[in-house]
Structure 1
Amino acid sequence: MPEGHSVHRIARQFERNIVGRTVSASSPQGRFVEGAQVIDGREALEVRAVAKQMFLRFDGDVWLRVHLGMYGAWDFSGEVVVDATIASANGRMGQTNQRGTVLDDGPIMDAAGENSLTSIGAPRRARVRMSEQTTGLEEQNEWPPPVVGAVRLRLLTETTCADLRGPTACALQTPDEVAATIAKLGPDPLVDDLAEGEEQFTATVRKKPTAIGLLLMDQSVVSGIGNVYRAELLFRARQNPHTPGRDVPEEVVRGLWRDWARLLPIGVETGQMMTMDDLDPEAYRRAMAHRDDRHWVYHREGLPCRVCGTAIVMEEAAGRKLYWCPKCQA
């Protein structure tokens, strides 16, 4: 499932390519025909990303709410502006690391096809795929591009096409409905005031009997954290995932919020969930290219902890895989 950094990256792509333009809207799949008819011919005025949901406002105060869920993804094609650069099939993009150094020799791909340029959602081969795993830029000769697969919603401007596939939610909302949806979500470090968000998060966690490992995945407690960031945040805090929230020391709870506020922008900028710190350029490039070098505990069950050497444990927690070190996080 896409985590918070992914949805913020999608929103930035909409800001660059769709907002401020009149769109033609259709539902090739046929499951959003009435909604597409309402949007068709309207100008996109604003985009918001909160938690794992995106909200796109059109003139007339019509809002589109999209939640990608486990399998959703956006495909962009045509002239796709990334970091103020027009992307072409042979375009090369700089990639910014955690220290702000531009790696200007092209995007770094890992074995799963993930890179920082176009990756947000569920993995599929496409033209410019905004999914959790990127497939890169591919040559395109036909405009508008042919519909491929089950496209729930197509938004088309004169130069850019955005195709939505497989979302959990794709619905029109009124301004009041949007406000009500957002009100149910926990604080998002890229949306809310950081100090206020810290207070809200800390107060909520400190009164809950639920395990902290579950609370971090609860979008009403904090926005945007998924399975990868949950495991990595807890390890970085050396916090046992099974400790009830109310028993986690306040300074640890506050530290979790501050660490999330630090890691989320890195994920937005790089397109990858980088959770390793203070890497030299060679180690950083290796980590960006290989997931095995990018995380402390996630997806490393049975492997030695990078700190103490104890085998990393994987267990089921509310139907999701939880990775942690039983010694460092005892």
Structure 2
Amino acid sequence: MPEGHTLARIAGALDAAFAGNEVHVSSPQGRFAAGAELLDGGVVREARSHGKQLFVEVEPPGSPEPRVLHVHLGLIGTFTIDEVAFVGEKPVVGQVRCRIEGEGHVADLRGPMVCAVITPEEEASIRDRLGPDPLREESGERGWERVTRSRKEVAALLMDQSVVAGIGNVYRCEVLFRHRVDPATPGRALARETWEAIWADLRRLMPLGVVTGRIVTREDQVEVVEGAMAKGETPHLTERTSYVYRRTGEPCRVCGTPVSMRDLAGRKLYWCTVCQTGT
């Protein structure tokens, strides 16, 4: 499932392509025809994300009340946006649930878990149920309040979108390794300073994902990306960028112990049994 940096990247691309412009909205697949009709001919005000949720605010023609396109990509959804203006009529490829066209740009949404038109009040209600987003909020205090009251394993809590919005399996596994935290640690046993360090690290790592389109967590590669960004250059990464994610049985990059894996709440958890013993 795409993690928060992917949705922030999509929101930025949609904003760059359509904000301030009148758009034609359609549903080539037909499953979103009624919703597309509500948005068609409107002016895009803003595209924004919160965690794994995407919202595109549109001012419909002849109506002062905005409507919001709400998208959750789920496991297989994709939202592709032309990086450069498209000339002519773009053919429909695959099962396109929603197509947005305007000023030469075309965006196609395929296979989402959620694609609906909602009100701004309904958007606010959805956002209120989510935890803080490291890409949007400076403080992780609301997340800490939920963590410190819970007996659940911290590895499970980090995947709970009401604790931290936008974190998926990759960031979960990697940030716990980076801070040497035992994934089985109950939330209420996690040290406050450890939580603050994890939050600060997510605030550092996730913007790199927005820029590169990849989850980068290995410190040597994090520094490469940060250095390139500081120079205004495009970073190029060719190596695997994870410490433990999808490295079952391979040697830990720090101590050499084979990386372990187990199922937790339907997802594969990867960790090092030697390095990750702290709380």
Return closer, same or farther for 1:32/1:281 CA change in 2, 3 Å cut-off: closer
Contact 1:274 1:288 in 2 (8 A): no
Q: SS of the counterpart of 2:180?
A: coil
RMSD: 1.9
Written as runs of structure 1 = structure 2, the 5 A alignment for 1:121-140 is: none
Equivalent-residue separation in structure 1 for 2:219 and 2:236 (angstroms) = 11
Please list, as runs of the form range in 1=range in 2, the aligned pairs for 1:242-321 lying within 5 A after superposition. Answer: 242-279=184-221, 288-291=237-240, 294-321=241-268
Structure 1 position 19, deviation (Å): 1.1
Distance 1:281 1:206, change over 3 A: closer
Please give the secondary structure, in 2, of the residue aligned with 1:29.
Answer: coil
Structure 2 Cα separation of the partners of residues 253 and 34 of structure 1 = 45
Cα offsets for 1:57-113 (capped at 9, x unmatched): 111311110000100001223xx2xxxxxx48xxxxxxxxxxxxxxxxxxxxxxxxx
| CA distance in 2 between partners of 1:37 and 1:227 (Å) | 36
- Runs of at least 5 residues in structure 2 that lack an aligned partner in the other structure: 60-64, 229-233
> 1:187 is paired with a residue of what secondary structure?
coil
Q: After the TM superposition, which residues 136-147 of structure 1 pair with which residues of structure 2 at under 5 Å, given as runs?
A: 143-147=88-92
2:74 maps to amino acid: G
* Secondary structure at the counterpart of residue 237 of structure 2: helix
| Normalised TM-score (structure 2) | 0.90
- The runs of 4+ residues in structure 1 deviating greater than 4 Å are 279-282, 284-287
Shift of 1:190: 2.1
CA distance in 1, matches of 2:235, 2:136: 31
| Secondary structure of 2:140 counterpart | helix
Q: Which amino acid in structure 1 is aligned with residue 114 of structure 2?
A: A
Return the offset for 1:268.
Answer: 0.8
* Residues 258-280 of structure 1 deviation map (CA, whole Å, 9 limit, x = unaligned): 11111111111111100011447
1:170-249 to 2 correspondences below 5 Å = 170-192=115-137, 194=138, 197-249=139-191
Aligned equivalents of 1:211, 1:27: Cα separation in 2:
42
- Residues 1:150 and 2:92 are matched in the alignment: no
What's the TM-score, normalizing by structure 1? Answer: 0.77
Q: Is the 8 A contact 1:272 1:288 kept in 2?
A: no
Between the aligned partners of 2:114 and 2:56, the Cα distance in structure 1 is 13
Q: Distance in 1 between matches of 2:119 and 2:183?
A: 38
Specify the SS of the correspondent of 2:130: coil
Counterpart mapping for 1:61-140 below 5 A: 61-77=66-82, 80=83, 87=84
Give the AA of the match of 1:15: D
Deviations 1:208-267 (A, max 9, x none): 111000000000000111011000000001001111100111111111111111111111
CA contact (8 A) 1:201 1:257 kept: no
Does the Cα contact within 8 Å between 1:304 and 1:311 map onto a contact in 2? yes
Equivalent position SS for 2:96: coil
**Partner residue of 2:105?**
160
Instruction: Give, as a single letter, the amino acid of the residue that structure 1 aligns with 2:30.
Output: G
Secondary structure of the corresponding residue to residue 219 of structure 2: coil
Structure with the larger RCO, 1 or 2 (CA within 8 Å, 6+ apart): 1
1: CA distance, partners of 2:164 / 2:106: 32
2:62 is aligned to none
Hey, what's the Cα distance between the residues in 2 that align with 1:9 and 1:213? 25
SS of 2:2's equivalent in the other structure is coil
